[in-house]
Structure 1
Amino acid sequence: MSDSVPHKSGRGSYSYSALAFLIIFVVGLYASFTWESQQLKIKRAQALSQAQSYSFQLKSLLDHNLSGNYTLAALVHEFGGFTRWFPQVADSLLQVYSEVNNFALSPNGIVKQVYPLRGNERVIGFNQLMDVEQGSDAWDALKQQRMTLAGPVDLVQGGQGFVGRLPVTLERRSGGAEQFWGFSNVVIRLDALLENINLQALVDQGYAYRLERIDTEQAQLIATVSEGPLSDPVQVEMSLPGVKWRLQVAPAKGWLPPYMIALYAVLCFLLAAVVARFVYMTLKISTQKEQLTELLSLQTEHANQTDKRFLSTLQAIPDPLLELDQDGTVLDLHMPNDELELEQFFIPGQHYNKALPYAVGQVLEHVFQETLSSPNFSHRGALFSLNISAAKVLWFELSVVFRRTQEDDLANGRFIVLLRDVTARQEAEQQQRIAATAFETQDGILISDHNNHIIRVNKAFQKLSGYSEAEVIGQTPAILQSGKHDSAFYQHMFEQLLSKGTWAGEVWNRRKDGEVYPEWLSISTVRDHQGAISHYVANFKDISERKASERQIRQLHYYDSLTRLANRTLLLEEMAFLLEDKALRNKQSAVLFIDLDHFKDVNDVWGHNIGDQLLQQVATRLVDTTRSKDLVARFGGDEFLVLMEPTDTSINADRAIYRASHVADKLLKVLGRAFSLNGVDYQLAASIGITVFDEDCHEPLDIIKQAELAMYEAKSAGRSRHCFYETGMQERVLERVQLETDLRQALDNDELLLHFQPQWDAQQKMVGAEALLRWQHPERGMVSPAAFIPLAEETRLILPIGEWVLRSACQWLSHWCKHGQMQGFVMSVNVSAVQFSQENFVGQVQSILQQFKVPAGALQLELTESMLAHDQQDIISKMSALKALGVLISLDDFGTGYSSLSYLHRLPIDQLKIDQSFVANIEHGEKNASLAESIISLGHNLGMEVIAEGVETKAQFDWLAAQECDLFQGFGLAKPMPMTDLLRQYQDVQTS
């Protein structure tokens, strides 16, 4: 019996100890699993909070940068598709949207303009609608007619990024639905975007992330730091313009390290083994101590339950809990959520001031003093912040209780400090302060309730409108209406607010003092949790200065700065409108192309300042002569166009032609009157080309070209007249262009040559010769001077050609001067007005004479009488300089142009040449004879030599000789001939 009791007791001890081991091991595992589950929830909540914060920053940053598209689209729409303003506006936008890589405009989907251009040159010409990678996104934006965000895409300029596209539509001039113009674009580089929101901070905190686009069939990776999918990540979805993104976040090393499971199992095993051993040893105690053992066991169980309850209470408190002695030494630190950041500031066994910043330590010291002096020995509500890292600041609210060891003993006790994390609350309050500051912006803001009664306005509203806040509270925004918009305008506004939630546009409102002004108004609706509209928020700014700038830009864009007439752009737009708007049905219009004859002479002789004054006076006369509905434009230089008001031709088909001819005659008459420039009268002429067009014409430039061809035809017909366009003019103009091209090459190809017509005295002795220019074309043959000399003068090719003639003539003179028998032989060379007007003409003549060592008296320059109509002072000055060199001067075609006798005697002229028109029939016609006789007498009286040209018969020679004419020239004496023939004839005359 005595042996069996120990045996049973031993078996019972083993059974109880095994049971205790099993229970403790299972309970330990369950407690470990519960603890880790709670920690996992906390970690996932923290990771989700981080993901939400970064997704909010990412979405805000993208929305902010994409908003620049609305500014570009509004300006394109405002200016009707004209984009000259783009570089300046894009530059200013880049100052605001610093994360944007570049802005671009793509009419019809093709990138035409990009800013900045440097580094983005490859983007120009990129077709967004046809691109394999970006085409589908571009078409989606076009179909949806709203902002879309495409990406990530491989950018044409290199790298990856996102493209925000906003379709732009323009109003048709004929009305109807707006038509697609193209896209305004914002390009944001992926690397710049990620750097701005600092996703690297997640990695620094031990997280891995994965950013994807999820609105496609398969999720499209945007950025990640993980080589594969994340393990059980938390994720946040973002709705962006036209796309959806998802941000996944998970710890890089996993939520629960595998070694922790083994560690918990080992700890539970050791604890169960210790308890089992304790049970076993307890059961082995003698029966005499059984009651004591049972009492001790009960007390132990009670203590364990108390500890568990205390631990549960501490675990139920979500905030860190500190215990400090009265001197401020940290006794205990309870961190329920593993706030490891706080452990660096509150170190057990050390004073709280040891690691805390000085300012925080002062807050705690003040709170502890207040706690001891309060009736209930408690204090709460104090705030302080801790900089956990460079990018992380936590705010805490203090709740402090002083627990005394004895009821009346303040010398011994402890401070119990509860730290409540109020970072989220502080950030919310900061956002409220920011919102309040933003509300007081420079733009006027008005907030109304769901019944559209005003409940709040900012100071900018009061300044812009003139109304105080008290005057508008409870009123509706109708108090600001100017009356310029009808009810349909406001009805459309509210329909769009109800359907889209926003409205923006230009509105004319009235200030309190009655002034009407333009403003840009943006209205947004605010909805409550049930989706009903609760408030309206209106933002507006005064755009009076912008409207004035727009008017100035329009003036610069559509009107000539010198004459204030319409310019080429406005003319082409008006013609295109006539053709496209079908305004010419049963009607015709006409274009008059006006070119001022010899206008270049005005600039060359008098200077560009006088030329500009002349153009202004011409513009005034053109406007005064035409109807108010006729459009007068300066097409360029001295070219003006008149677009006539369409004329109904249903009754009379020639009505438009008749009216155009009538207007042209009036213009020629008006322009023919002398212009007064700085007290000097200047006579001007013009050539006008006319073309009539109707609805069958399509291209404005073709119509203008026809009028220009007709103008050239008028010039060819003698100038100072008008000419209608006819089929075949194009060929004649092409022939003239080809002739000009050949003439430009004539000098280089050595096609020009000189013929010489002898000049004779009364004894028929050869005393000189006139050098006459000839052109031997390889295909055309000998080209008439009447065909190419006027062309050379008009194109100013006469300058190099004239110099060549002068050099060639002096070269022959040099040869003759060396021939003893030809001493005193005079060479006459014709000089055009264009040549003579050169500033260095006298120097040019002097240089050629010195080069060929020719006596100046052997050279005679022939100037036409019409040249005297130009700058008389300049002519006198140059003639005097030539006379000082010894050069002879002859006045050609005398009697056919402008001659003032009071002016003529002042000119240093050696010779008068009687024009051949006076020599013809001189022996039979009384008038010609009288004129020729008068010219001979006038020349002799002024001390000048007189030569007659065009002497065809012996009777003409005899009559002129009888009138004591000095020299003679004409086909009746000798025709122009090459130099070899001239020398031969000279030798024959000398020997006969």
Structure 2
Amino acid sequence: MTDENRRLRATCDIDARKRHEQQVVGLRDELATILHALPDPVFELDMDGRCLSYYARSEDLLASSPSILLGKTVREVLALDEAESVLQALHEARDTGRSVGRQFKIEGEHGPQWFEMSVAPKPSIADETPRFIVLSRKITARKQAEQVLRERESLLRAVVDNIPAEFWARDLEGRCIMENAATVAHWGSLLGSRIDDARVSPEAHADWLASNQRAYAGETVRKEFASDIDGERRVFQCIVAPIRVGGEIVGICGFNQDITERKRHEEQIHQLAFFDPLTRLPNRRLMLDRLEHALIGSARRHQEGALLLIDLDHFKDLNDTHGHEAGDELLMKVAARLRLCIRQGDTAARLGGDEFVVVLEDIDGVVEGLVQANAIAGKIRDELNRPFHLMRGGGGEAITYHCSASIGITLFGSQDISASELLRRADTAMYQAKAAGRNALCFFDPAMQAAATERAALHADLHRALRDSQFELHYQVQVDETRRPIGAEALLRWRHPARGLIFPGSFIGLAEETGLIVPIGTWVLRTACLQLAAWAARPETAHLRLAVNVSARQFRQAGFTDQLRELIVLTGAPASRLELELTESTLIEDAEAVVERMEELRALGIRFSLDDFGTGYSSLAYLKRLPLSQLKVDQSFVRDVMSDANDATIVETILGLGGSLGLSVIAEGVESEDQFAFLAARGCREHQGYLFGRPMGLRDFEALLAVHHA
């Protein structure tokens, strides 16, 4: 190569180098301009991560002071993991031409500061050591926001998972995109599955399909569905609502709440509100509602109906003798038999206590209705007459109980009448059936209603009579064979303010039925004891005894013995002069308890007389066991003793029986001298009747005594 060629080549090389240097300078100038426009700090690093220079519009943008950064490598400034992240970004930029998005953290004076790097190689002159421009954007606020979002998401996740209800969300294709722990526990994880997945029950599938169309349309939907869990049928309430993003529905979310227990409680409340808990029959409230509907339906269809009121006869006696458990068992079995006797569509209900109601609907015509109602009522009566096998005392000895029922019947459909009025009519007919001897059927008629109205008024008057001391005792003398007064029978009278003097036959039956006989009987015993005490204080009357009738209901009262003992102590009456007259109906039920009570009272000195002897079902088997002092021959035998051979024979038999048992015998209803002579001739030593004196007030009675004493 010639010298001239060498000079030319050197000149070209210098020119090329100069042009390159000018280009680099130009790039640097452009870079400087760009740097001045950047809001973030820019660092120049070498391959070892040493900070060669930096640019920042404000040093506040730097995590540390320049003295700490300049000349130091990233390993000297940053934590190990953070330094490695920066070095990896440098290597990535060297190999690929750039690195974007890598992050690092610097522990500054005010806590950790986060930065995101954008790295690019710095243009360099040939053979120059690689250098890198690192744009460091401070993202501390963004990282803090992300942390808050993560915490909120975690909190939301915890809240959702701890909701006792199942929560889920699905997209518009029915794909599950979110679920909570309760949903997973019930169905297993459904994430990604569609609603027609085999794990979802057919019921839930059907309900979802029925609900989601409205939910997609923007309406919140409430539905219930059932599902089997571990073999148990559970009920869920599902609330489905649309998910909106920017006003557009993108899916639906829902809550499934297990409401099985609530449903059970609602059913229990319904049962308690409308059904009798013992018999499971409709109660009074539901019966009246059904009766109202029956009345409306009968009027609309021009059909007759009937109401039957059924009252069990002597139910209280079963409770008293065998315990309330036996009574409850009877009521349950009566309810079961009633269900078998009625037609489909009819109603059997328990009105309360031992009263039941049957509502018969759609029976044909008045005449045919009477026949049908009578037939069904007869079937019910016959069914209840069949023996019941019960457990005495709720699990003790088995007993066979014979039940009967009095049934009142009234028709409806042809007239405008309320349910309550219809029930009153059936009640009137039922009491008429009881008056007819019980175990009977009776239809309502207006005369029954009038009698019921009078009965209700009498009942109210009886309460007032007790309150206002309208009762008084009259006395009928009892004499011996010489006609000398030996005592009297106390007979109750009611001095009514409007109706005058009322005899017991007009009100004792009602008092027995309503229980007023107990307070009335207590008043009679107290008055009798006071009178005995007064007679005992006077020599001329101290020998007199006083006979008092005691009802079966009063005698069976649990505290009767203690009550009578207290009366004797308080009044000072001589117990040996008090004679309680009992009827056979009192003695025949639960004879063991009756004998025990009589023995307790006899220990006090009280005597017992068996009233109306011969008119009931007298049994010598129990008669010889009773601690009686006297038999009382009923006046029905004495009345015709002179004209009826049968009555004469009965009287003679009773007198002979009394003598054989060591009992005195008193004949009541003696009205003629012939009767007195007949009785005296056959050994009767005590007498009572109009021949010796009618029942009279105390003043007249004591005047009669004064005549005999004189």
TM-score, scaled relative to structure 1: 0.56
Cα distance in 1 for partners of 2:701, 2:65 equals 129
Change (3 A) 1:333 1:855: farther
- Structure 1 residue aligned with 2:374: 661
Change (3 A) 1:433 1:560: same
Is the counterpart of residue 505 in structure 1 residue 223 in structure 2?
A: yes
Task: Please report how far the alpha carbon of residue 483 of structure 1 lies from its aligned counterpart in structure 2 after TM superposition.
Answer: 12
Task: Please report how far the alpha carbon of residue 505 of structure 1 lies from its aligned counterpart in structure 2 after TM superposition.
Answer: 1.6
Amino acid in the other structure paired with 1:797 = L
Q: Map residues 711-860 of structure 1 onto 2, 5 A cutoff.
A: 711-715=430-434, 719-727=438-446, 732-860=451-579
Change (3 A) 1:920 1:685: farther
Is the counterpart of residue 398 in structure 1 residue 115 in structure 2?
A: yes
The alignment partner of 1:707 has SS state of helix
- Structure 2 residue aligned with 1:599: 315
CA distances 1:149-195 after superposition (whole Å, capped 9, x unpaired): xxxxxxxxxxxxxxxxxxxxxxxxxxxxxxxxxxxxxxxxxxxxxxx
2:90 is aligned, of 359, 371, 376, to: 376
Task: Please report how far the alpha carbon of residue 825 of structure 1 lies from its aligned counterpart in structure 2 after TM superposition.
Answer: 1.8
- Structure 1 residue aligned with 2:349: 633
Is the counterpart of residue 418 in structure 1 residue 138 in structure 2?
A: yes
The alignment partner of 1:708 has SS state of helix
> Which deviates more from structure 2 when the two are superposed, residues 371-380 or residues 689-698?
371-380
Cα distance in 1 for partners of 2:293, 2:313 equals 31
- Structure 1 residue aligned with 2:651: 932
Count the aligned residue pairs.
Answer: 649
Q: Map residues 219-368 of structure 1 onto 2, 5 A cutoff.
A: 313-314=38-39, 365=79
Change (3 A) 1:766 1:618: farther
What value does the CA root-mean-square deviation take over the aligned residues?
5.1
Whether the aligned pair in 2 keeps the contact of 1:320 and 1:418 (CA below 8 Å) is: no
Q: Percent identity?
A: 35
Task: Please report how far the alpha carbon of residue 894 of structure 1 lies from its aligned counterpart in structure 2 after TM superposition.
Answer: 1.6
The alignment partner of 1:820 has SS state of coil
Task: Please report how far the alpha carbon of residue 313 of structure 1 lies from its aligned counterpart in structure 2 after TM superposition.
Answer: 4.1
- Structure 2 residue aligned with 1:575: 291
Is the counterpart of residue 481 in structure 1 residue 202 in structure 2?
A: yes
Whether the aligned pair in 2 keeps the contact of 1:592 and 1:689 (CA below 8 Å) is: yes
Cα distance in 2 for partners of 1:440, 1:781 equals 81
Amino acid in the other structure paired with 1:771 = A
Change (3 A) 1:475 1:560: closer
Change (3 A) 1:625 1:514: closer
Whether the aligned pair in 2 keeps the contact of 1:576 and 1:700 (CA below 8 Å) is: yes
Whether the aligned pair in 2 keeps the contact of 1:446 and 1:539 (CA below 8 Å) is: yes
- Structure 2 residue aligned with 1:689: 408
Change (3 A) 1:670 1:383: farther
Change (3 A) 1:474 1:637: closer
Task: Please report how far the alpha carbon of residue 382 of structure 1 lies from its aligned counterpart in structure 2 after TM superposition.
Answer: 4.8
Change (3 A) 1:710 1:332: farther
Amino acid in the other structure paired with 2:585 = S
- Structure 1 residue aligned with 2:25: none
Change (3 A) 1:372 1:618: closer
Q: Map residues 125-144 of structure 1 onto 2, 5 A cutoff.
A: none
Whether the aligned pair in 1 keeps the contact of 2:177 and 2:191 (CA below 8 Å) is: no
> Which deviates more from structure 2 when the two are superposed, residues 846-855 or residues 869-878?
846-855
TM-score, scaled relative to structure 2: 0.76
Whether the aligned pair in 2 keeps the contact of 1:911 and 1:946 (CA below 8 Å) is: yes
Amino acid in the other structure paired with 1:657 = L
Change (3 A) 1:795 1:365: same
1:608 is aligned, of 302, 315, 324, to: 324
Change (3 A) 1:698 1:440: farther
Cα distance in 2 for partners of 1:698, 1:415 equals 98
- Structure 2 residue aligned with 1:919: 638
CA distances 1:368-421 after superposition (whole Å, capped 9, x unpaired): 6447755639984357999x9xxxxx9974336999xxx999xxx999672342
Cα distance in 2 for partners of 1:585, 1:308 equals 102
Whether the aligned pair in 2 keeps the contact of 1:320 and 1:335 (CA below 8 Å) is: no
Whether the aligned pair in 2 keeps the contact of 1:482 and 1:510 (CA below 8 Å) is: no
Cα distance in 2 for partners of 1:350, 1:693 equals 110
Cα distance in 2 for partners of 1:518, 1:384 equals 57
Cα distance in 2 for partners of 1:620, 1:784 equals 44
Cα distance in 2 for partners of 1:692, 1:484 equals 52
Cα distance in 2 for partners of 1:818, 1:980 equals 17
Is the counterpart of residue 943 in structure 1 residue 662 in structure 2?
A: yes
The alignment partner of 1:646 has SS state of strand
Bigger radius of gyration: 2
Task: Please report how far the alpha carbon of residue 930 of structure 1 lies from its aligned counterpart in structure 2 after TM superposition.
Answer: 2.8
- Structure 1 residue aligned with 2:334: 618
Amino acid in the other structure paired with 1:941 = S
CA distances 1:263-313 after superposition (whole Å, capped 9, x unpaired): xxxxxxxxxxxxxxxxxxxxxxxxxxxxxxxxxxxxxxxxxxx99997864
Cα distance in 2 for partners of 1:668, 1:809 equals 44
Cα distance in 2 for partners of 1:631, 1:351 equals 98
Is the counterpart of residue 869 in structure 1 residue 582 in structure 2?
A: no
Gaps of 5+ in 1: 1-305, 337-342, 353-361, 389-393
Whether the aligned pair in 1 keeps the contact of 2:220 and 2:239 (CA below 8 Å) is: yes
The alignment partner of 1:654 has SS state of helix
Cα distance in 2 for partners of 1:363, 1:956 equals 143
Cα distance in 2 for partners of 1:859, 1:823 equals 12
Task: Please report how far the alpha carbon of residue 854 of structure 1 lies from its aligned counterpart in structure 2 after TM superposition.
Answer: 2.9
Task: Please report how far the alpha carbon of residue 798 of structure 1 lies from its aligned counterpart in structure 2 after TM superposition.
Answer: 2.5
Cα distance in 1 for partners of 2:574, 2:42 equals 117
Change (3 A) 1:385 1:446: farther
Task: Please report how far the alpha carbon of residue 738 of structure 1 lies from its aligned counterpart in structure 2 after TM superposition.
Answer: 3.3
1:588 is aligned, of 278, 290, 304, to: 304
Change (3 A) 1:817 1:435: closer
Task: Please report how far the alpha carbon of residue 614 of structure 1 lies from its aligned counterpart in structure 2 after TM superposition.
Answer: 3.4
- Structure 2 residue aligned with 1:903: 622
Q: Map residues 36-185 of structure 1 onto 2, 5 A cutoff.
A: none
Whether the aligned pair in 2 keeps the contact of 1:454 and 1:476 (CA below 8 Å) is: no
Change (3 A) 1:415 1:313: closer
The alignment partner of 1:973 has SS state of coil
- Structure 1 residue aligned with 2:693: 974
Whether the aligned pair in 1 keeps the contact of 2:575 and 2:606 (CA below 8 Å) is: yes
Whether the aligned pair in 1 keeps the contact of 2:465 and 2:471 (CA below 8 Å) is: yes
2:281 is aligned, of 565, 574, 584, to: 565
Task: Please report how far the alpha carbon of residue 550 of structure 1 lies from its aligned counterpart in structure 2 after TM superposition.
Answer: 4.9
CA distances 1:893-920 after superposition (whole Å, capped 9, x unpaired): 2223343321111110011112223333
